[in-house]
Structure 1
């Protein structure tokens, strides 16, 4: 967890310095992405809000994504992760949206993905999406790995903005 908090602190300081805001839609990381970002003193300067979009009902209630936008798309996929990241950015009026959607374990999900599978995405001035496969069934370890992968992808996007 220390590495996650350290990465969040670095990102938080960069967002504050740039006057940028972030919003989060996460699933199988269970709120760890938001928790890490909020662990930084002064997080209110950059963190606008987030949701744990763990079920289809939660997606309806928390994101208001129209059914038509989901046609041909399944959870735990790169297109769905990108949709969630864009949704977070747009709904909160943030500079950056970040998302995660996968299967923490100990078993896979109904879509055929094994435990340890997730897709993470960043939407903003730079967009990126990535699939992670940990090959582990340890739920807590996967949740931490998913949150770390999400924030690492955001850090790379921030780096690309400064290059």
Structure 2
């Protein structure tokens, strides 16, 4: 019987604690999540699905790596494709809202970035290590931009997934704080 080695353990160490926290919060609250990913390549979804009981909270996800896939499945228009200037808050806000609406999830997280190792443009959003994140919920959308300063593709992909999950946790915590007083009415 094969044994796990350090390099075969999934999810990566940086994701383990945060993904368990997010899944437990969602399960405890009876809520769901969907994921739209580009540069993370499906790591957010895979990390969520690695947690036992994930089927109670995970509605689905898309890895939309190409512009064509965003047009076909991400709710993008041809005008958005024609005017695309790289990963941005604008891109992920629309994707998160689209996924949440299509999959009827409580939350939808979306990310778009540049994992590296090379830069594919001169603007900050096209440099390795940049990611735009958004979480959509019934309360609206929250976004965050991160620059890791790294050019290592694998490390950036894991970091993008971890930061996306941290944003989800922050949004859930804000929702909990916002609605906790309602129970005392």
Q: So what's the TM-score if we normalise by structure 2?
A: 0.82
Structure 1 residues 111 and 65: alpha-carbon distance in aligned structure 2, compared to 1, 3 A threshold: farther
Give the aligned partner of residue 46 of structure 2. Answer: 35
Determine the structure 1 residue equivalent to 2:98: 87
Regions of 4+ moved over 4 Å: 68-73
Which secondary structure state, in structure 2, belongs to the residue aligned with residue 123 of structure 1? Answer: strand
In the TM superposition, residue 72 of structure 1 has moved relative to its aligned partner by: 5.4
User: What runs of 5+ residues in structure 1 fail to find an aligned partner?
Assistant: none
Q: Flag the 1:117–1:152 CA change in 2: closer, same or farther, 3 A.
A: same
Q: CA deviation at 1:135?
A: 1.2
**Helix, strand or coil for the counterpart of 2:120?**
coil
Q: Secondary structure at the residue paired with 2:162?
A: helix
After superposition, the CA RMSD in angstroms is 1.7
Residue-pair matches, total: 163
Larger radius of gyration: 2
Give TM-score scaled by structure 1 length. Answer: 0.92
Q: Could you tell me whether the CA contact under 8 Å between 2:71 and 2:81 is conserved in 1?
A: no
2: CA distance, partners of 1:97 / 1:68: 23
Q: CA deviation at 1:9?
A: 1.0
Selected match of 2:71 from 60, 71, 74: 60
Instruction: Answer yes or no: is the 8 Å Cα contact 1:5–1:39 preserved in 2.
Output: no
